[in-house]
Amino acid sequence: MNGRIPVEDVVPLRGPVPRGTPRARRRIPKAGRRATRRSVLGGVAAAGFGLGMTVLGVFPAAREVPADEFDEYYEIKPLPCPSYAAGHDCSPGCGPSRVCASCCRTSGGRRGYHHSSVSKPNHKLRPDMCHGGWADGWLWKFKGKCGPCPEYRTYRCHDGWRRSGPDSPYYRTICRWTVACE
């Protein structure tokens, strides 16, 4: 034999199973089967080892992440809103840049945030460009009737860039997303 495998003996990764191929079967443990002394002692030893490594500080403690924290491009300044948006009314709200409804993501984990170049062509984020150069967005609240909200409406304003096509220049935009309405 020359060490080569005939093509018909190669198992396909996708598609139908070839005729005559035996089915893989798993053995299901019999009911009422008891744990052996060896398996119990192995479990206790593994738990003791993990606890010991945690006490010694080998494994870092888990950090709780707030729901709105994604990465460095999604830091949102809490209320009160920045002074440059203080004089705005219910609409447009948010700030001096153009409010752009189509710039907001409408699904997924980043729903309600500005599109990036990864999620939609001709869009990009403006990290650390608002409120003194540290925030990527901010909360903005309007007291009074605002659309379906009879008493107040709070927006999350997340800024970015948009252009109408690949050959046109980018302009500043804001994704305005309602986070509270009463």
- Output the pLDDT for position 26: 65
Structural domain including 156 reads 76-181
Position 132 in a domain: yes
Neighbours of 129 (CB within 10 A): 16
The predicted model scores a pTM of: 0.56
For residue 66, pLDDT beyond 60:
no
Position 157 in a domain: yes
- Output the pLDDT for position 171: 92
For residue 163, pLDDT beyond 90:
yes
CA distance 85 to 106: 24
Number of domains the chain is built from: 1
Find, among 134, 126, 128, the residue nearest to 175 by Cα: 126
Position 24 in a domain: no
Position 1 in a domain: no
pLDDT digits (tens, 9 = 90+) for 112-160: 898 988 889 999 888 776 656 667 788 888 888 888 889 988 888 888 8
Position 114 in a domain: yes
CA distance 44 to 151: 59
